[in-house]
Structure 1
Amino acid sequence: MSHGSFVFTSTALRSFQLDEVDMLERDNYKKKLASRKLNGYQLKKEARDRVSLRSSVALPPAICYDLVIQNALYTGDTEAVQRLFPKGSTTANLIIEPQGGDMRWVARGEGLWSLSYEQELTTPLHITAGRGFTDSLRVLLQRGANVELAPGGTTALHESCETGHPECTKLLLSHGANANAVSEEGLMALHMCTSSESLECAKHLLQYGAAITARSLGEDDTPLHVAAENGLPEHIELYLRYGAAVDKQNDQGLTPLNAACSEQQEAHELERYFRACKLLVEAGSDVRTIDQDKQTPLHMACKHANADVVDLLLTHGADVNAMNYGCKTPMQMILQSVCYKTSQRPERVVRSLLNYGSVLVWHVALPTVLKHCGMSPRTIEVLFNAYARLKITDSWVEAVSPEVFKEHQEFYESLFSLAQTPRSLQHLSRVRLRTFLEGRVLQVVPNLSLPTFLKNYLLLESRGYFH
């Protein structure tokens, strides 16, 4: 340990003296125990007296600024940790105040503010557990580190679960860490399992008695909500086996299914969220549950253009024409998102909604749709082919930017040519049949004795042009 790391005040010296006395007492106690001259009553009395002595002189943990100690902890140097935290010392419960951090304004007095680094207090146990340094963590636990210390608002168990280190999690639990400890933000360790790497952590927590029905103090989320929000199908499957309730609503009215559909989803995450939703639906989650904004899972799945989830929800009875508080239907939700989701094939969502009986967009609003969805010609094609006639005017041409028109010139030329040419008899027959079937298109068309290309035509499969 480097010199000058701690200020040895009279209080600190007194603490060291007490440590020395305690070590001498412990040595004498072992000698007496070995000589077998003490009966059971005397052993218990001495143990109680020692605990009483230590509790009466216990000091708050010292704050460590020693960079040598910090470097050993942050790099997982187990040999250095063994040397810097010797047996019998009380340094395993030091409070670490790392240098740096985010800048924030701090009040220094009446009317005085200064820009200072925001420090987060931590402990050796937190540092090693949060970085997966299992050997160093084991040394600290053997040196008597307190598993329940939470100077920064979270325990070391929270840290190990948040960063997904199952061996550290298991080690902490085996040394008495509380699986249901609540952080300063009202979260339990299960709420911190937000990545695929944390699955084994979640298993250990449940084996050590973590409450599967635990609610976060902030948003009233269960661990199942958290797993659904983060699109973690393996976690969901685990929690369901432990009896998690699929239709519990949080303070926003979201069930785990609502939460999964509401979360922002990138293209590479769609399949993972689909599997998560599939597990919840198969476990009995209600696909028509509305949140505080009267939005159903279908509204949100359309907003995020997850076509597989949309199909899943519609297959299990989702209301294709449900309206939220803003009077928006699922069709309006997807059309507002097309410009941001072109890589996720939004035309698939529009096609599914139409095949399940979605009401059509008011004809007068089609130029606006063309303006906002023009960069996805296939979406325009699928939607516009649901109409028997299109009253194309100059406003339609003006709605398509020159850049979009140039990129998809052949498609838009075929669309604008319909201003002088009526739709084909084949198209009119398709619209007539679909109108007759209403919301039963997908129940009837696949069972018709027709060639596959005609079935796909009736189901509005896009072809890249209008005819």
Structure 2
Amino acid sequence: MSRSSFVFTPMALRSLELDEDMLERYKYKRQLASRHLNSYMLKKETKDRALLGSSTALLPAVCQDVVVHNALYTGNLEAMQHLFPRGSTANLIIEPQGGDMRWVATGQGLWSLTYEQELTTPLHITAGRGFKDCLRLLLQRGASVELAPGGTTALHESCENCQSECTKLLLMHGANANAVSEDGLMPLHFCTSPESLECAKYLLQYGASVSGRTQNEDDTPLHVAASNGLPDHTELYLRYGAVVDKQNDEGFTPLNTACSQPQEVQDLQRYFKVCQMLLGAGADVHTMDQDKRTPLHMACKNANPDIVDLLLAHGASVNNMDYGGEAPLHNILKVVCYKVSHHPERIVRALLNHGSIRVWPGALPKVLKHCSESPRTIEVLLNAYSYLKVTDTWVESVSTELFKHKEFFESIFSLALTPRSLQHLARCRLRNFLGGRVHKVVPKLDLPTFIKNYLLLEYRGYIH
């Protein structure tokens, strides 16, 4: 071996292979970003020609300067004043240096693993992060508010991130309040959290359409507010004339949408307030979606007792069947074990007091098994029957782990040997006579309060 040569160790060879692989990936990433950029420039040039009748306007430059990037992403106003002096252009396309890998369809049933590159601009970066002073500087240097290399404008970005002052600044400099993103969304559709209310107000003040539809789902801003449980947004849009019963592609009105959303305990009141406003504005409680589900079906499925009470007070039908042949009572019984903290017993009680059909007696052991985590729900349901055929199957349906409610379940199992009490039979007879009028008639009867509550299936903690 000559003195001018040396031996590569396996570790050194592996390091070289990794370096070569990284270089190849970097080249591929640059090529991909270049294709995205060229495609965007071509579309923009075509649009500019159509608007201006010529292609003399300067196209934005691509910026890969890390110093500029750092100044933008940190909101360093002093650095930006040096980097963007008077007379300089702020119309730049920022080419990201990173990017995640994702599978992308290439046509003919083929897929390839490519880098996800999202081109952006200085306006997008500063507007999305709330760097108001930096944003103002860029606008003063002539940055275009309509650039959208990543498919959204800077206005979309500021609304999505609830940056109200930046939203106002962009609108004052001519940003289009009805600009449509690559995904078919207007800025109002990006107002999806309580903190975005001020953005929504500014958008409407500058001409945003309160009836603008998304291209894919045909949702209005009112649908978006209902979907996210935003009462203040709902009130705002209604005040600006939003149509309360517009249906989207799935047949959902905003009321259907609000009732259909999964709701945690802390979200129940927000969605209730939205529904309250929509019904106050004239929303129809009977509108069905493509599967013939009404708002009541959906409110029961998501176990929001206040919304159920509200819908029933506005005349919702408790016995409408969806395409699957299920009434609202079926929907609540199927989710009791997941929604115990939502007080599902309130919903079952309200439905029965409004004349809901009952469960086929042969299915009661199955209901007992799935609802055993909520004894009150079982109590209300069983008290709607004058006779119960309790068998060993009932006992086997209740897990021994649930015998923390031992006294309650033993009161049920004891009915295998004894009939229901005379008091309960009298209650059933009166309830059957009143039918769906129980909730209206009983409160008006000249009876002691405890008897009225008994007739309305108040909880007692045992079955007799």
Does TM-score exceed 0.5, indicating one fold? yes
Shift of 1:98: 2.6
Call closer, same or farther: CA 1:94–1:349 in 2, change over 3 Å.
same
Provide the secondary structure at the position in 1 that maps to 2:102. Answer: strand
Specify the alignment match of 1:222 in structure 2: 220
Call closer, same or farther: CA 1:82–1:244 in 2, change over 3 Å.
same
Shift of 1:109: 12
- Partners of 1:248 and 1:286 in 2: how far apart? 11
Q: Determine whether 1:276 maps to 2:274.
A: yes
Matches within 5 A, 1:136-285: 136-285=134-283
Specify the alignment match of 1:117 in structure 2: 115
Call closer, same or farther: CA 1:415–1:124 in 2, change over 3 Å.
same
Alignment counterpart, residue 417 of structure 2, candidates 407, 416, 420: 420
Specify the alignment match of 1:446 in structure 2: 443
Specify the alignment match of 1:384 in structure 2: 382
Shift of 1:57: 5.3
- Cα RMSD, aligned residues only: 2.1
- What amino acid is the match of 2:75? G
Specify the alignment match of 1:46 in structure 2: none
Specify the alignment match of 1:336 in structure 2: 334
Specify the alignment match of 2:22 in structure 1: none
Q: Determine whether 1:455 maps to 2:452.
A: yes
Matches within 5 A, 1:61-72: 61-72=60-71
Provide the secondary structure at the position in 2 that maps to 1:408. Answer: helix
- What amino acid is the match of 2:59? P
Provide the secondary structure at the position in 1 that maps to 2:115. Answer: strand
Call closer, same or farther: CA 1:61–1:276 in 2, change over 3 Å.
same
Provide the secondary structure at the position in 2 that maps to 1:104. Answer: strand
Shift of 1:97: 2.7
Q: What are the Cα deviations for residues 384-420 of structure 1, in whole angstroms up to 9, with x where unaligned? A: 111111111111111112222x332222112111111
Provide the secondary structure at the position in 2 that maps to 1:431. Answer: helix
Shift of 1:104: 0.9
Q: What are the Cα deviations for residues 158-202 of structure 1, in whole angstroms up to 9, with x where unaligned? A: 111111111111100000000011000111111111111111111
- Partners of 1:337 and 1:220 in 2: how far apart? 30
- What amino acid is the match of 1:450? L
Shifted more, 57-66 versus 414-423: the winner is 57-66
Q: What are the Cα deviations for residues 207-231 of structure 1, in whole angstroms up to 9, with x where unaligned? A: 1111111111111111111111111
- Partners of 2:349 and 2:151 in 1: how far apart? 49
Shift of 1:106: 5.5
- Partners of 2:247 and 2:113 in 1: how far apart? 41
Specify the alignment match of 2:87 in structure 1: 88
Shift of 1:450: 2.1
Call closer, same or farther: CA 1:358–1:110 in 2, change over 3 Å.
closer
- Partners of 1:235 and 1:112 in 2: how far apart? 43
Shift of 1:445: 1.1
- Partners of 2:74 and 2:423 in 1: how far apart? 71
Call closer, same or farther: CA 1:114–1:162 in 2, change over 3 Å.
same
Specify the alignment match of 1:319 in structure 2: 317
Specify the alignment match of 2:373 in structure 1: 375
- Partners of 1:428 and 1:374 in 2: how far apart? 24
- Partners of 2:431 and 2:103 in 1: how far apart? 64
Shift of 1:333: 0.5
Shift of 1:94: 1.5
Q: What are the Cα deviations for residues 240-268 of structure 1, in whole angstroms up to 9, with x where unaligned? A: 11111001111111111011111111110
Shift of 1:69: 2.0
Provide the secondary structure at the position in 2 that maps to 1:462. Answer: coil
Call closer, same or farther: CA 1:109–1:215 in 2, change over 3 Å.
closer
TM-score (normalised: structure 1): 0.85
- What amino acid is the match of 1:297? P
Where in structure 1 are there 5+ consecutive unaligned residues? 1-6, 8-51
Shift of 1:105: 3.2
- Partners of 2:111 and 2:217 in 1: how far apart? 33
Shifted more, 274-283 versus 80-89: the winner is 80-89
Identical-residue share of aligned pairs (%): 72
Call closer, same or farther: CA 1:432–1:155 in 2, change over 3 Å.
same
Provide the secondary structure at the position in 1 that maps to 2:210. Answer: coil
Shift of 1:449: 2.0
Shift of 1:101: 3.8
Shifted more, 332-341 versus 114-123: the winner is 114-123
Shift of 1:62: 2.8
Q: Determine whether 1:432 maps to 2:425.
A: no
Shift of 1:433: 1.0
Specify the alignment match of 2:124 in structure 1: 126
Call closer, same or farther: CA 1:124–1:457 in 2, change over 3 Å.
same
- What amino acid is the match of 1:208? Y
Specify the alignment match of 2:47 in structure 1: none
Call closer, same or farther: CA 1:110–1:57 in 2, change over 3 Å.
same
- What amino acid is the match of 1:157? L
